[in-house]
Amino acid sequence: MQPESDALCETLDPADWEPVRALSHSIVDEAVDYLRGVRDQPVWREMPAEVRARYREGPPEGPSDLQAVYGELTETLMPYPMGNIHPRFWAWYMGSSNYTGALGDFLAAVLGSNLGGGNHAAALMDGQVADWLRQMIGLPEGSGATLVSGGTMANIVGLTVARGVKAAEAGVDVREEGVAAIERPLRFYASDQAHSCHHKAVEVLGLGRRALTLLPTDDALRLDLDALAEAIVRDREAGFTPACVIATAGTVNTGAIDDLPAIADLCAREGLWFHVDGCIGALLAIAPQHAHLVAGIERADSVALDPHKWLHAPFEVGCALVRDRTTHRNTFALSPDYLQTQERGVAAAEMLYDYGLQTSRGFRALKVWMALKEHGVAKFGRLIDRDIHLARRLAARIEATERLELTAPAPINIVCFRYDPGGCDEAPLKALNIEIMLRLQESGTATISDTTVQGRHCLRAALNNHRTRPEDLDLLVSEVQRLGDSLAGAVPAAVNQS
């Protein structure tokens, strides 16, 4: 025995690979069964106390057999998913993932590469996928494109570039001097339907919430252009620098798409940065029947989009596009002594972390690359069109169903509606609809969420799901009506008691 050399040869690799191979095969077998059978499972189920307790255990000091580790997951993890891969999940705004993408994540982890940059194949693929997304949206060649964790980060990247450009125009190097040096503070504009990540963005950019003016929307929940023009004039007079309009292509509440060509014109005329939050709608550009809805997006200075939404990539992957690649790079690039590029070898390539905030980056491209190669862009476009057709069908069913009503326009794949027995005030109506939503979730029948649009509370179904079939939506409508009928009367009383 030579204890010293044993210790120096310790590794995370198994002593014998064969049992690991066998276990891996069975994990894949069970994963395929899991997905094939997903429709027959409840969409969601509450975790029993014993399961929750397992997640309060401390870190394991000693080893366990990998088979036992996996066995624990089959009991405590796999039966309790969020549910967004289920055909009857329509809450918030998710994608429903795909098996090819899961294989991609597995292989990306096997390869284990860091996509901070470097001269290796994964880095080329990372750039290729980001550039495919650019081509789908129609931004010009030479734009900057980088994969990020999601839409929030993609928006933060775009708005950071906007901040730098507008500060520079005001004579300030914001990277060096910070926003405090900008004499006439920057102002950003968005509609009152803009996603909350833009609040986070102006906060982390040091601009503060007040730098983001939320403007009213019209009956279609689109940014009011007159209000925008007036706000710009008012801010200039008050000593501010109007810097950027954040247009939303597909709002999270209702899917409203701001008037992109008109906002592009206004930004060009007024010298403002034109950013499009396309986390939901940018990929409409590949949907043959609905691409016209986002015409004008190709004029943006920056775009945020989310392949983990309408491309159904497993979480996470977002993408930031910036019309001018050099400006994009200049916003983030650094060249520390320990990360120098070289003429030859593994560092002989542009560093990918120069286009965003992370240094180490995961290999997010592979899951997207594999699914796009397997199915082709055209099929993803058809699936987007299909979601919109299903949403129209759902909206029509709701309108044709007693005591159900639409509460907002549904221009794409998001349907806002509620159960209304008549004669109820807003507060008990809200309580009743929340109870319907919770019962649907708890029964495992369907998962939807709720929101408030222009002061009216409603249920909300976002049909971003390649597994949904028409009969799933028929079930939703009939269950909401049935639950509403059985609850109406009971819930307002419960509210009065509290």
Ligand X SMILES: *Cc1c(COP(=O)(O)O)cnc(C)c1O
Residues that bind ligand X (CB under 6 A): 93, 150-152, 155, 195, 197, 248, 252, 277, 279-280, 306, 318
| Closest separation in Å from C-beta 150 to ligand X | 3
When the beta carbons of 144 and 250 are compared against ligand X, the nearer one is 250
When the beta carbons of 167 and 276 are compared against ligand X, the nearer one is 276
Angle between helices 99-111 and 365-375 (to 10 degrees): 140
When the beta carbons of 254 and 445 are compared against ligand X, the nearer one is 254
Beta bridge partners of 461: 415
Please name which of 391, 366, 351, 389 lies closest in space to residue 476, comparing C-alpha atoms.
Answer: 391
| Closest separation in Å from C-beta 181 to ligand X | 29
When the beta carbons of 277 and 301 are compared against ligand X, the nearer one is 277
Residue nearest to ligand X (CB): 151
When the beta carbons of 151 and 409 are compared against ligand X, the nearer one is 151
The residues near 371 (Cβ < 8 Å, ≥ 6 apart) are 98, 100, 101, 104, 311, 312, 313
| Closest separation in Å from C-beta 474 to ligand X | 27
Cα(278)–Cα(302) distance, integer angstroms: 10
| Closest separation in Å from C-beta 328 to ligand X | 19
Number of H helices, E strands in the chain: 18, 11
Please name which of 207, 216, 277 lies closest in space to residue 242, comparing C-alpha atoms.
Answer: 207
| Closest separation in Å from C-beta 97 to ligand X | 14
Please name which of 322, 311, 309, 312 lies closest in space to residue 276, comparing C-alpha atoms.
Answer: 322
| Closest separation in Å from C-beta 258 to ligand X | 11
| Closest separation in Å from C-beta 5 to ligand X | 48
Please name which of 465, 462, 464 lies closest in space to residue 450, comparing C-alpha atoms.
Answer: 462
The residues near 472 (Cβ < 8 Å, ≥ 6 apart) are 87, 88, 446
How far is residue 70 CA from its own chain's centroid?
29
Cα(53)–Cα(87) distance, integer angstroms: 30
| Closest separation in Å from C-beta 462 to ligand X | 9
When the beta carbons of 272 and 279 are compared against ligand X, the nearer one is 279
Angle between helices 377-399 and 470-487 (to 10 degrees): 30
Token code pair at residue 392? 């129209």
